[in-house]
Amino acid sequence: MRVLIVLTYYRPHTSGLTIYAERLAKGLVRQGHEVTILTSHYNRYLPRRETIDGVHIVRAPVLFRISKGVIMPTFGFLAWKLVTQADVISLHLPQFDAAGVALRGRLLKKPTVLTYHCDLKLSPSAFNRFVNRVVDVMNNLAGELSHKVVAYTQDFADHSPLLRRFSDKLHVISPPVELSPMTPSGIAAFAKMHNPQRARPVIGMAARMAAEKGVEVLLDAFPRILERYPNARILFAGQYRDVLAEEAYARKLEPAIRRYEDMDKWKFLDVLDPIQMAAFYPNLDLLVVPSLNSTESFGLVQVEAMLCGVPCVASDLPGVRQPIQQTGMGEIAPIGDADGLAEAMLKVLDHREAYIHPREEIAEQFSTERTVQDYVALFEELLHTL
């Protein structure tokens, strides 16, 4: 089967959406399918075309940016050519250009599956409200033109205005979760490098430095944690410098973060590769996902941490609360409430062993292989019925 996957950003850009798409693409290749990615040439140092782990990547030139969006004049031409060569199309939203690709799929009678990862919510301004509205219109049009719409969880689908519109074509597929193997010596080496004083408890956050991630909520909750656990320390894994359209947010938080850095209570680890992430999680006592809005719909890092025996605290957002509700490995905190976050974190840290479940229980529910099989079954169903 020839699968065309279309999304605005792909690896090496780091986000839950790009990691999801990469795992899906590589998983399909491992099962013998031919996969092409159509994405933006958002970084001029990347090649226009390349093949990584059997996945063919085509990057459309970017003329200019509008906030996090990109304008690609040749995207339509490339899309038409690649759609004609594909058997099925996999669109990943939010994405301004998805409606045009879905239309091409309809015209060329190619099964088109739309995966809706999250909402787009840009920082408040008159222009950004206009951009949000335009993208919403295009996302809805893409949903109308697609044959099936995929959501991570029924919980998120029930609360999403877009997904509720397409309940008749909705298909729930759990997201792909995988973790590289790691040895005890590798875990110990990571600890020696990033926590040489063996400070405990270690609280982890794995995200971009972006407004929707709720970093400020963790910063405001941390003093209460330090009252109970004076040696507590935060390790932040993810891009924290020059995050696209988030520079002002980073500057706003810089004084508070610097204060904790000076106290040796906060350490930035930057973007970690899969091997490093496999060593990062076992060095934590708790992972925190304090996200603020529906730009987060699940939080893959929660399940990755749980596979390493690490409980989590996550915001009470549709979809984001699902890993904890499904596994029992953590507590759910009120959205944007620093006191509520601190209370949930302390509850887990005070009784940590009660929240740990066997790895096998978690692995049964979430895996890349299971996700890929569900997509393949959906693709084959459409190929036989359209």
Distance from C-alpha of 159 to C-alpha of 294, rounded to nearest angstrom? 9
Residue 99 to residue 328: CA distance in whole angstroms: 39
Residue 333 has pLDDT above 60, yes or no: yes
**Same-domain pairing of 358 and 372:** no
| pLDDT at residue 14 greater than cutoff 90 | no
Neighbours of 124 (CB within 10 A): 9
Same domain, 255 and 141: no
pTM reported for the whole predicted model: 0.85
User: What is the sign of the dihedral through the CA atoms of 90, 96, 101 and 106?
Assistant: positive
Confidence of residue 131 (pLDDT cuts 50, 70, 90): low
Residue with tokens 């199309």: 89
Residue 70 pLDDT > 90, yes or no?
A: no
Percentage of the chain modeled with pLDDT above 70: 96
162, 270: one domain: no
φ, ψ of residue 327 in degrees (nearest 5)? -110, -25
Query: Residue 305 pLDDT > 80, yes or no?
Result: yes
Q: What is the pLDDT of residues 183-216, one digit of tens each?
A: 999 999 999 999 998 889 999 999 999 999 999 9
Q: Is 324 helix (H, G, I), strand (E, B) or coil?
A: helix
CA dist 137 and 145 (Å) reads 12
Q: What is the pLDDT of residue 123?
A: 60
Average predicted confidence (pLDDT) for the chain: 93
Is 23:108 a contact under the CB 8 Å cutoff? no
Domain shared by 375 and 360, yes or no: no
CA distance 187 to 189: 5
Give residue 128's pLDDT. Answer: 62
| Predicted local distance difference test score (pLDDT) of residue 197 | 87
- Non-local (6+) Cβ contacts of 96 within 8 A are 8, 69, 134, 135, 138
pLDDT at 119: 78
Band (66; pLDDT cuts 50, 70, 90): confident
Tokens representing 49 are 């075309």
* pLDDT for position 221: 98
| Neighbouring C-beta atoms of residue 105, cutoff 10 Å | 26
**Residue 296 pLDDT:** 87
Q: Are strands 88-93 and 112-116 parallel, antiparallel or unpaired?
A: parallel
Same-domain pairing of 59 and 46:
yes
Which phi and psi angles does 97 have, rounded to 5°? -85, -5
Same domain, 139 and 284: no
Mean pLDDT over 13-21 rounds to 90
Q: 164 with 240, same domain?
A: no
Q: Do 232 and 171 share a structural domain?
A: no
Locate tokens 């906060």: which residue? 266
Does the pLDDT value for residue 308 go beyond 80? yes
Domain co-membership, 202 together with 271: yes
β-pair type (55-60, 49-52): antiparallel
Checking if the pLDDT of 348 tops 60, the result is yes
Residue spans of alpha helices (H) in 71-125: 75-85, 98-107
User: What is the DSSP annotation of 271-307?
Assistant: ---HHHHHHHGGG-SEEEE---STT-SS-HHHHHHHH
Provide the 3-class DSSP secondary structure of residue 36: strand
Same domain? For 83 and 218 the reply is no
Higher-scoring residue by pLDDT: 242, 10: 10
pLDDT tens-place string over residues 366-375:
899 999 999 9
DSSP E strands in the chain: the ranges are 2-6, 34-40, 49-52, 55-60, 64-66, 69-71, 88-93, 112-116, 148-151, 170-172, 202-206, 233-237, 266-270, 286-289, 312-315, 330-333
- When pLDDT is cut at 50, 70 and 90, the band that residue 132 belongs to is low
List the structure tokens of 257.
């973060």
Nearest to 206 by CA among 335, 303, 69: 303
- Is the domain of 55 the same as that of 188? no
- Domain residues for 376? 2-176+367-385
**Do 264 and 299 fall within a single domain?**
yes
CATH number at residue 71: 3.40.50.2000
Q: Has residue 246 got a pLDDT over 90? A: no
The number of domains in the chain is 2
CA distances from 281 to 65, 187, 273, 275, 340 (A): 35, 9, 12, 11, 24
Query: What's the pLDDT band for 45 if we cut at 50, 70, 90?
Result: very high
What pLDDT score was predicted for residue 137?
Answer: 86
* Mean pLDDT, range 262-285, rounded to an integer: 96
Is the confidence at residue 160, as pLDDT, over 80?
Answer: yes
Query: Which pLDDT band, with edges at 50, 70 and 90, does 125 fall under?
Result: low
Whether the pLDDT of residue 331 is over 70: the answer is yes
Angstrom distance (rounded) from CA 61 to CA 43: 9
pLDDT at residue 232 is higher than 60: yes
Query: Are the C-beta atoms of residues 342 and 324 closer than 8 Å to each other?
Result: no
Nearest to 69 by CA among 89, 38, 37, 97: 97
Residue of higher predicted confidence among 16 and 91? 91
Element of type H or E holding 378: helix 368-385
> What is the structure's pLDDT at 325?
96
